[in-house]
Amino acid sequence: MNNILIKINSTLLTVSSVKKTTDKNLNNTNIIDTKELLFSYQFIKDNIELVSSFLNTIIIKNKIDKVRVNDISLTTLTLDLINNSTTIKKLLISEEKQIDYEIFLKLLDNHNLEYINCYDIPPYLLERLDINKNLKIDIRCEMFFVSKFMEDNKLIKYSDIYYKKTIVINKNFDNRELEDFKTFIKINKYLKEVHIKNYTNDLIYSIIDTFKEYNLNNKIIVFYENNNINIIVNSINYLKKIYKEYLEEANIDFKIVYSKEYKRKNLFKQLNFVTLRYICFVILLGALIFSGLDLYKNYSSENNVNEINDTLTDILDNYELTEEEESDDVEYIDTYENETTTTNHYDSSPSSYYTKYNQIFDELTKINDETIGWITVNNTKVNYPVVQHTDNDYYLKRDFNKQNNSFGWIYMDYRNNIYNLSNNTIIWGHNLKNGMMFGTLRYATNESWYKNPDNQIITFNTKVRNMKWKIFSIYKIPVTNDYLYANFGDLNEFQDFLNKLKNRSIYDFGVELSKDDHILTLSTCGATSAQRLVIHAVLLDE
């Protein structure tokens, strides 16, 4: 590795790579020229904090506000050296090469830079920096150059890369495309399938080696029969031998997609009427078995939830204040297609406005130590304790007793905190046809419901405080994550977020919102799994 030369000229610090010399011991000198410093690369790596502190003293003394890196390979090291310097605002990268993902990560860590001049940066990284950093970036090349791999899969924005579930590879990778593929693997969180349209041995080995390098698992590699099918089959068998341990542990599977012509010539001609009849019988029998198991599973899940609700009702009954303070009859609104009917049901449990929550939480946490609150939505059946786990998957299939249950439970987003409220507190629950969990939140879309002032107040009490929230937005929307941000570093962005949510509402509740507010979001499935029903409410001052 070459030596590192650091020069100071006025308010500019320049970092360059120079060839090693043998006439001077770089780590043993009695004379230090603060205008021109020469270090071995290894010395800086081994003493990064010492060199950074020394350099920062010189930067402050000379009022240096910009750094120029002549060799792009030294950029990450340079950013480590200046990371704690508050005076350096500009970074200039001279070499005409593109910023890579490693440099991008270092730029995210730096909190002082305000300006970068470079030759090129991929658009998805530029977008990410633009979102997360207050940076002005000047790019010297005339246009972005995107590899064939990125172009074929429309991987232009960072979000495109992050959420991509299926990618297509049309030809063998060159060096640029392989680097882009590796960058994609580093960023992406949702990849399920890799489709190879034109098979080559080099390509499949590159893919498997990259998967192995970054410890990927649960992926499917799809081949197409329009390639040479014999070569593909032999290659898959060979791959399963040489990568046997990794493929089994990581659950990497292979799939071949056959053309209709191939199926017609090679598969269906082997089947006769008796075989087809047997297959149909097996399929029918399997469908009946699975249908019966599903019915039993739903029946068992509902019984378990009913038992839990009985236990919760007993706990509530023990801590009601007085009979005079109990709730009146509750009016539920049932909707069937275009018809709306109103029926009265007596709610035997005490109202959440009057329950002694500081006492019942002690009882609830004996059953489930992850209990953090209790939520009630007027004129619905939503009247449940709320739990919180370290992720948002645990209570999708577990009930209040932490037992496996397809109905799940009502839970608060893992990013939220009852002791220090987020800008947006998010509560999740399944929309069940039997009305359990968030199954009756659909009542909120009826005009007779949302125009009733009593229904516009949601009670969400926690172990810390009792809270009332005023509804300001109700809507249905195709599946999206854009209303699920919990925290905002920039309050102006939060104000824009509030305005967007309010403008979506099916009804104007006349609620004024400010960036100092805290809001509550209830999210569940809509009429289909591809739709979401969302309710937003703002915290009222006590």
What pLDDT, in 10s, does the model give residues 331-379? Answer: 333 433 333 434 443 343 334 434 455 678 888 999 999 999 999 999 9
Is the model's pLDDT at 171 over the cut of 90?
Answer: no
CA distance 449 to 380: 10
Is the model's pLDDT at 28 over the cut of 80?
Answer: no
Instruction: Calculate Rg over the CA atoms of the chain.
Output: 31
Residues in Cβ contact with 1 at an 8 Å cutoff, skipping those fewer than 6 apart: 40, 41, 42
Is the model's pLDDT at 323 over the cut of 60?
Answer: no
Decide: 218 and 179 in contact? Cβ < 8 Å.
no
pLDDT > 70: percent of the chain: 84
Q: Supply the angle between the helices 101-109 and 75-82 in degrees, to the nearest 10.
A: 10
Task: Indicate the SS3 state at residue 305.
Answer: helix
The pLDDT, as a whole number, for residue 33 is 65
542 band by pLDDT with thresholds 50, 70 and 90: low
The pLDDT, as a whole number, for residue 357 is 59
Residues in Cβ contact with 333 at an 8 Å cutoff, skipping those fewer than 6 apart: 340, 341, 342, 379, 443, 446, 448, 449
Is the model's pLDDT at 193 over the cut of 90?
Answer: yes
What pLDDT, in 10s, does the model give residues 78-135? Answer: 999 999 899 999 999 999 888 888 999 999 888 889 999 998 888 778 777 777 677 8
Decide: 426 and 416 in contact? Cβ < 8 Å.
yes
CA distance 177 to 182: 9
- The better pLDDT of the pair 498, 313 is held by 498
Task: Indicate the SS3 state at residue 242.
Answer: helix
The pLDDT, as a whole number, for residue 5 is 93
What average pLDDT does range 214-223 have in this prediction? 92
Decide: 309 and 383 in contact? Cβ < 8 Å.
no
State the chain's mean pLDDT as an integer. 83
What average pLDDT does range 153-178 have in this prediction? 85
Is the model's pLDDT at 261 over the cut of 70?
Answer: yes
- Delimit the CATH 3.80.10 region(s) of the chain: 3-139
Q: Which CATH topology does 3-139 take?
A: 3.80.10
When the candidates are 3.20.20.140, 3.40.50.300, 1.10.3300.10, 2.40.260.10, the CATH number that belongs to 304-539 is 2.40.260.10
Is the model's pLDDT at 31 over the cut of 70?
Answer: no
What pLDDT, in 10s, does the model give residues 446-455? Answer: 999 999 999 9
Is the model's pLDDT at 412 over the cut of 70?
Answer: yes
What pLDDT, in 10s, does the model give residues 464-516? Answer: 889 999 999 999 999 999 999 999 989 999 999 999 999 999 999 999 999 99
- Delimit the CATH 2.40.260.10 region(s) of the chain: 304-539
pLDDT > 90: percent of the chain: 48
Give the pairing of strands 468-478 and 519-525: unpaired
155 band by pLDDT with thresholds 50, 70 and 90: confident
The pLDDT, as a whole number, for residue 273 is 52
The pLDDT, as a whole number, for residue 429 is 94
Residues in Cβ contact with 371 at an 8 Å cutoff, skipping those fewer than 6 apart: 361, 364, 365, 385, 386, 387, 463
The pLDDT, as a whole number, for residue 426 is 97
The pLDDT, as a whole number, for residue 464 is 87
Q: Is the dihedral of CA 285, 290, 296, 302 positive or negative?
A: negative
The pLDDT, as a whole number, for residue 50 is 92
What pLDDT, in 10s, does the model give residues 515-534? Answer: 999 999 999 987 777 899 99
